[in-house]
Chains A and B, each alone.
Chain A
Amino acid sequence: MSTMATAASSPSSELLATSRNQSPLRVYVTEAKYEIIKQMRIPAFMIPTIGFPIMFYVLFGLVMPSGGNNARAAATYMLATYGAFGVIGISLFALGVGVAVERGQGWLAVKRASPLPVSAYFTAKYVTTLVISTVLMLLMCIIGAVFGHVRMLPSQWIALLATETLGAIPFCAMGLAVGYLAGPNSAAAIVNVIYLPMAFFSGLFIPAEMLPRFLQGFAVALPPYHLGRLALDAVGVEPASHAPGHIVALLGFGALFTIVALIAYRRDDGKTYG
């Protein structure tokens, strides 16, 4: 009576079925669209991740410096560093805290039981980070140009925008690793504990050159240092010749965090939370 059925149709027939029934891209687009809407409607996410970097930039980059060219230089410098600070925060909170919480509360299980490709779920979170990072950077650039009198070549504005948004990707991977290693209740605390000291020691609040010498060596080992330097390169402060080294460093950190996240994802597979 109970005939044992075995799973034996080839993976290629499955791929064919996918392309016949619907455009696989559509799911990715819809998932990303609603992830952005969802995230932008959470005040507890938007206020700290958008508000704090802008507030810090206005206070330390625009209000405190005084005197003509010096003030303009400070406003330009800090547009790069507080921009980096901002996009890193968006990445860590959107992915780190977001994934940990949805995983812990059982929501990720509902998604995984559906036909949604797991990759679409994570891609949507990356895309959301890029979009919100772009919004933050546009706001900061406008504020810098209008109130800080920041003046740059169009190519420099574009380079800054591209550096900050694309530079957020390794930090998405870092967030993902934290989100999978940390429990749902501790993820936010862990992200905060990592985020602020890491930004400080990377020279995003005060220039790394002003830190004690032994801390300057330490900064090189921190991923935000390299994003900060690349952003400074984009606005013409850091010598451009150093850029390849920083890019390699960010790619390396990104790969490392992705591997950690994948291992944690595998380890987590089938476990129950919440």
Chain B
Amino acid sequence: MTNAIPAAQLSSVFKSYGDTVALRDVSLDIAPGGVIALLGPNGAGKTTTVKLLLGLAAPDSGSVTLFGNDPRRTSSRRRIGAMLQVAKVPETLRVREHIDLFRSYYPHPMPAADVFAAAGLDGLEDRKFGDLSGGQRQRVLFALAICGDPDMLFLDEPTLGFDVETRRSFWEQIRGFVSRGRTVLLTTHYLEEADALADRIVVIDHGSVIADGTPAQIKQRVSGRKIRCTTRLAEADLRAIPGVTELRYDHGNAELVVTNAEGVARELLWNDESLSNLEVSGIQLEEAFLALTGSQEAA
């Protein structure tokens, strides 16, 4: 019964900044529990979505709710935590002081020792923020977000600029938080990150939701490979090969987007012994977004 109220919801939301349309007709229901990832390139509208849900910006039209209420209400804000993209945090306060301050904002904060442990800050409590490394600073921002022991956590590009190892250890902290039955909304432009953490991925581009599904469903649509080759096969023959989802053909130079690169390559070589310049590459996420946008327009 309580599941009838979404943790967060956007209904037919439009939002512009001056002449720039940030979101056009976005509707999104986020059920309590688990991780939802907003995936998209820079400027897609991910951060705007987070700002609206946090009540930091108002929609031009449509409605935004948190736990069925106005996000700007103090009672809503007590149930959430937010890790935003921050250029600079006051550097002269110690980690312990930052945590102590943010804990004072909530009626039932998480014990400070638990916050340090959950964010991987043990041993750094007495360091001033200005003396921390980039990864440690992000962990403090994460700690500030979980201080209030929130039901829902917003993470806006939490691992931007991390190396692979730091990113993976940070993922563990997020998983630890989710395992307590909480809801996490994460924005990222790494498909890998969304795949590693999320139960549901919402792909957003140019202010619109262009795909929404489980990681497996999304990956199937965007994780194809690209084959380039020079061939004397006809365009229709190329298109007929199983696994080819897209084809660009120009005077014998073919560019194919395929779901199973090995199978298609085998088929190509079998049918055309003179085939040359064979090249197989992964699809860049940007191209995957284009593919998704294209397929949506075709549908």
Contacts and interface: CB of A to CB of B under 8 A. Distances in A.
A166 interface: no
B87 A115 contact: no
Contact of A7 (B11, B57, B70): B70
A42 B107 CA distance: 31
A1 B3 CA distance: 10
Interface in B47-68: 47, 51, 54-58, 63, 65, 68
Interface of A: 1-7, 9, 14, 17-18, 21-22, 26-27, 30-31, 34, 37-39, 41-42, 101-102, 104-107, 109-110, 112-117, 269-272, 274
A115 B90 contact: no
B190 interface: no
Given A38-B90, A269-B58, 17 more contacts: A2-B29, A3-B4, A5-B5, A5-B69, A14-B73, A31-B104, A41-B93, A101-B88, A102-B90, A106-B86, A107-B89, A109-B84, A110-B141, A112-B56, A115-B74, A271-B17, A272-B17
B271 interface: no
B17 A113 contact: no
17 contacts: A1-B29, A6-B63, A7-B69, A30-B104, A31-B101, A34-B101, A38-B92, A102-B90, A104-B87, A106-B87, A109-B56, A110-B144, A113-B80, A114-B144, A114-B148, A115-B105, A269-B58
A26 B58 contact: no
B1 to A, nearest CB: 12
A116 B105 contact: yes
A113 B105 contact: no
A37 B97 contact: yes
Contacts of A117: 74
Contacts of B108: 21
Q: Which residue of A3, A269, A270 has the most chain B CB atoms within 10 A of its CB atom?
A: A270
A42 B92 contact: yes
B68 A7 contact: yes
A199 to B, nearest CB: 27
A7 B108 CA distance: 23
B92 A115 contact: no
Given A14-B74, A115-B106, A2 B51 contact: no
A219 B154 CA distance: 52
A9 B69 CA distance: 8
Interface string B110-139: 000000000000000000100000000000
Contacts of B74: 14, 18, 115, 117
Interface in B1-33: 4-6, 9, 11, 17, 27, 29
B264 interface: no
A107 B86 CA distance: 6
Interface in B137-154: 141, 144, 148, 154
A243 to B, nearest CB: 39
A21 B107 contact: yes
A116 B102 CA distance: 8
Contacts of A34: 93, 97, 100-101
A113 B86 contact: no
Contacts of B84: 106, 109-110, 113
